[in-house]
Amino acid sequence: MGTLSRITEGKLGYGFVEKDYIPEGCDEYWQRNKQVGAYAKKWRKLRADEIAILVKNNNICANWDDFLVSDPFNPHLIRNSQFYGLVRLGAVRENLLQYHDYKIPAGIRDSTIISCDIGDDCAIQNCPYISHYIIGNQVILSRVDEIQVSNHAKFGNGILTPGESEDVRIWIDVMNEAGGRSILPFKDMISADAYLWAAYRDDAELVAMLKEITQNQYGAGRGRYGTIGSWTVIKGCGIIKDVAIGDCAYIKGANKLKNLTILSSEDEPTQIGEGVELVNGIIGYGCHVFYGCKAVRFVMGRNSNLKYGARLIHSVLGDNSTVSCCEMLNNLVFPAHEQHHNNSFLIASLIQGQSNLAAGATIGSNHNSRANDGEIRAGRGFWPGLSVTLKHPSRFASYVLIAKGDYPYELDIPLPFALLNHDVARDRLEIMPAYFWMYNMYALERNAWKAASRDKRVVKVQKIETDYLAPDTAEEIIHAMELLELWTGKAAVLRGGENPETYTEEALRQFGQSLLASAENRMSGLEVFAEGLERHKRPALVLKPRKAWRAYNRMLRFYALKSLLAYAELHTEVPPRDLFAELDQEYRSKGAKREKQWVNLGGQIAPASRVDALRQDIREKILTSWDAIHDRYEEINRWYIKDAALHAWAVLLELPPLDGEEPLSAARLLDGSGMTALIAQGRETRRWIESEVYKSRAKDWRDQFRKITFRNDAEMTAVLGRVEDNPFIKMAQKETESFIKRLDALEQRLSNAAFKPRSE
């Protein structure tokens, strides 16, 4: 803790940078003059009459020779203020600045300015301490207790300035409270960067290079000034220290802002409100932080919100997310995360986006061992329900809905789109695979629509996948189908009085698949139990395994059709038969093996092979900046439609047939019959999705208990409206029409150029 001291040497406003840290041939303003850039003016010294007016208006300056102005300059607009060090002003003229209903005349009143550059037509009043800042044009600063910067300011970036030791570097301990996945924040960080750094910790060379890249790109010599961009409004605040603020920001009533970069622009303005305390972090473009929020060691992505006392600590929050009231510690959260309740906790986790935490959810805050080193990993669409309590370490596939309950053991749930339930009465875990697809299509489709529609980023640094059917979830579905086959085979063998251990795993899977794929239900009364879902030997019952397996099969067909359709639409100049033949040729050139490993790279889905190549190029110093790494993300995205189409083709060829139908071989797909059948199935599936969206939402209108608070149906309709008028249901209808038109166009292209069998 520092102590108050009396300085007998030196002058206020001078000696900001120690001589040892000033390059040869430079002065203490060398950084300042580089930063001022477009704000540089044709400054001049004051005339004697101007000094006289300033003195008459009760202004004090330690050295009028270091008080520089640019024309036009009206000295009458500066009153009751003190100036120290080199102060340079832009235009000072009679103007009225207005932000909403707040109006203030331009000029400087009742303030102390120490070694600052101030742009044109600014209004500064009742600011007793503004030190070493570069302020843009038409900025309002009103009633701010302290605005200053230190000569070693980092503005939230995890860098060091010359002369500093490693122990002062600011790290963010994401995913793990013990700090084994620490990353360095920087102003351009997105979720993908944090994941790349935190997830591949076994790649020591990569981790070292990312640290070096961050230091090289964002580090600088001592003496950088703080910045406040043009058209920014700051009023009624406490302390602002070591903060870089962009254009058009609005900051009102904040208690403390320290060591931050607040990114803001005219197209994506950022707002910070009352009672907020933010320390050591990055706030992205278009963010909103209001009403008593606290954040320490953090990164907020673009278009994200903290509201109503939320606490964000040692965490990275992805783009398009909203967090209210709750507590989040040591997390890496991908885009489109929602958490709105005061009594919800998210601790030491990797949440991979499109997620929603309900009230009372306590995700990972209870330690199971002697050390706080547990983690939770959840795929896209993670949805723990009311009062769900989970233990570290646990892992969840995509789109897992967890029913209300205190789950006493660690969980490993590999079945996507599943409903998980803790049956206390029977002391067992229950899981319904493919639950969302079978029974809650409204929620599933709306989740995808919501994630896309709330993406208000003007600059989309990275492509975020919002479709619930993508290569990552398709691979999870395939793995889930294999598990269901295995578990079903074991259950059937046991019912027959045999020992499953006398069979190979492949034989059990084949037996299970024959039961699941059969048109006739031969599984009546068969109880199927899952293995390895929790850290306990108690039973875990699989609900509706046959229906779930068949739903998964249907989902894969629909995924494959959509991926091939997108690829064909991308290449309208090439006949579809040629495109698909090329896919088949590439698939076979790779040994008829599909890409099984897909990475959710901060919301962008990418083949693991491309991510591995990215890591290698970083290690080998081919990519030497975060800008270059971001460019590689974009390059990977340009390949995505082709990569997904190739994966979809492989999925179709490897997909088990249903009800004794003929497999979808390459020959069938390329002679036209298989693709025609697939398109027909796609039309049927899309119409079924629309119907299920309606039915799953209509339950809320037909449920008897939903009606008990209304006197009659007319009152209910007046309050809730009609289900037929639901905006999302209407949107689903339009989506069906659009998708079927796209399929019709593809089918027309196929008929215009008949398929030819692939030459062997």
- pLDDT tens, 268-320? 999 999 999 999 999 999 999 999 999 999 999 999 999 999 999 999 999 99
In percent, the amount of the chain with pLDDT more than 70 equals 97
Can you give the pLDDT at residue 473? 98
Same domain, 402 and 502: yes
Can you give the pLDDT at residue 8? 59
Name the residue among 673, 655, 650 with its Cα closest to residue 583: 650
Can you give the pLDDT at residue 457? 87
Checking if the pLDDT of 758 tops 80, the result is no
pLDDT for 344-360, tens place per residue? Answer: 899 999 999 999 999 98
Checking if the pLDDT of 642 tops 80, the result is yes
When pLDDT is cut at 50, 70 and 90, the band that residue 259 belongs to is very high
Strand partners, 277: 256, 294
Same domain, 571 and 527: no
State the DSSP code for 399: T
Instruction: Single out the residue in 95, 121, 148 at which a domain terminates.
Output: 148
204 burial via Cβ count (<10 Å: 0-12, 13-18, 19+): exposed
Can you give the pLDDT at residue 371? 61
Same domain, 587 and 710: no
Strand partners, 529: 541
**Within-domain flag for 246:** no
pLDDT for 562-601, tens place per residue? Answer: 999 999 999 999 999 999 999 999 999 999 999 999 999 9
In whole angstroms, give the CA distance from residue 739 to residue 469: 15
Can you give the pLDDT at residue 9? 60
Instruction: Single out the residue in 107, 123, 148 at which a domain terminates.
Output: 148
Checking if the pLDDT of 495 tops 90, the result is yes
pTM for this entry: 0.93
**Within-domain flag for 347:** yes
Can you give the pLDDT at residue 546? 97
When pLDDT is cut at 50, 70 and 90, the band that residue 367 belongs to is low
Same domain, 651 and 708: no
Residue of 400 and 754 predicted with greater confidence:
400
When pLDDT is cut at 50, 70 and 90, the band that residue 366 belongs to is low
In whole angstroms, give the CA distance from residue 743 to residue 682: 8
Do 500 and 531 meet the contact criterion of CB atoms below 8 Å apart? no
Can you give the pLDDT at residue 370? 52
pLDDT for 288-301, tens place per residue? Answer: 999 999 999 999 99
When pLDDT is cut at 50, 70 and 90, the band that residue 628 belongs to is very high
Cα separation values, 271 from 5, 100, 717, Å: 37, 14, 38
Can you give the pLDDT at residue 368? 55
Count of structural domains, the chain: 4
**Within-domain flag for 117:** yes
Domain around 492: 330-446+459-547
Among 34-43, 62-71, 534-543, the minimum mean pLDDT is found in 34-43
Average of pLDDT values for 146-152? 97
Average of pLDDT values for 607-628? 98
Q: Coil, strand or helix: which one is 653?
A: helix
Instruction: Single out the residue in 148, 177, 206 at which a domain terminates.
Output: 148
Do 222 and 128 meet the contact criterion of CB atoms below 8 Å apart? no
All residues at 6 or more sequence positions from 290 whose CB lies less than 8 Å from its CB, including other chains: 271, 272, 273, 274, 276, 305, 306, 307, 308
Same domain, 688 and 662: no
When pLDDT is cut at 50, 70 and 90, the band that residue 753 belongs to is low
CA dihedral 694, 700, 702, 705 (to 10 degrees): 170
Same domain, 43 and 66: yes
Can you give the pLDDT at residue 10? 64
Can you give the pLDDT at residue 353? 95
Structure tokens at 291: 């009403």
Checking if the pLDDT of 759 tops 70, the result is no
Structure tokens at 521: 């239900």
**Within-domain flag for 585:** yes
Same domain, 20 and 144: yes
Name the residue among 303, 295, 373, 378 with its Cα closest to residue 333: 378
Do 649 and 571 meet the contact criterion of CB atoms below 8 Å apart? no
Helices 471-495, 640-654: axis angle to 10 degrees equals 20
Beta strands (DSSP E) in 521-648 are 528-529, 540-542, 598-601, 604-607
**Within-domain flag for 695:** yes
Same domain, 341 and 481: yes
Checking if the pLDDT of 501 tops 50, the result is yes
Structure tokens at 441: 């299509």
What share of residues in the chain are helix, strand, coil (percent, to 5)? 35, 25, 40
Average of pLDDT values for 204-218? 97
Same domain, 429 and 362: yes
Checking if the pLDDT of 369 tops 70, the result is no
Question: 17-44: buried (b, 16+ CB within 10 Å) or exposed (e) per residue?
Answer: beeebbeeeeebbbbbeebbeebebebe
Can you give the pLDDT at residue 700? 76
Can you give the pLDDT at residue 302? 96
Do 696 and 728 meet the contact criterion of CB atoms below 8 Å apart? no
Checking if the pLDDT of 732 tops 80, the result is yes
Give the residue ranges of DSSP H helices in 459-526.
471-495, 505-517
In percent, the amount of the chain with pLDDT more than 90 equals 81
722 burial via Cβ count (<10 Å: 0-12, 13-18, 19+): exposed
Do 381 and 354 meet the contact criterion of CB atoms below 8 Å apart? yes
Phi-psi region of 684 (alpha: psi -120 to 50; beta: other; left: phi over 0): alpha
When pLDDT is cut at 50, 70 and 90, the band that residue 755 belongs to is very low
Checking if the pLDDT of 502 tops 80, the result is yes
Q: Which residue has the tokens 């954040």?
A: 295
pLDDT for 674-708, tens place per residue? Answer: 899 999 999 999 999 999 888 888 777 777 888 88
All residues at 6 or more sequence positions from 688 whose CB lies less than 8 Å from its CB, including other chains: none
Q: Is the dihedral of CA 727, 729, 730, 735 positive or negative?
A: positive
In whole angstroms, give the CA distance from residue 713 to residue 81: 69
Q: Coil, strand or helix: which one is 485?
A: helix
Cα separation values, 737 from 95, 202, 250, 470, 731, Å: 56, 49, 43, 21, 10
Cα angle value 544/547/549 (rounded, 5°): 105
**Within-domain flag for 515:** yes
Same domain, 79 and 100: yes
Same domain, 701 and 646: no
Same domain, 597 and 744: no
Q: Coil, strand or helix: which one is 72?
A: coil
**Within-domain flag for 558:** yes
Mean pLDDT of the chain: 93
- Residue 413 carries which side chain, given as an amino acid letter? I
**Within-domain flag for 200:** no
Checking if the pLDDT of 333 tops 90, the result is yes
| CB neighbourhood size of 501 (10 A) | 9
In whole angstroms, give the CA distance from residue 563 to residue 648: 6
β-pair type (87-89, 117-118): parallel
Cα separation values, 330 from 87, 193, 343, 476, Å: 43, 16, 17, 26
Can you give the pLDDT at residue 757? 47
Can you give the pLDDT at residue 760? 40
In whole angstroms, give the CA distance from residue 245 to residue 118: 14
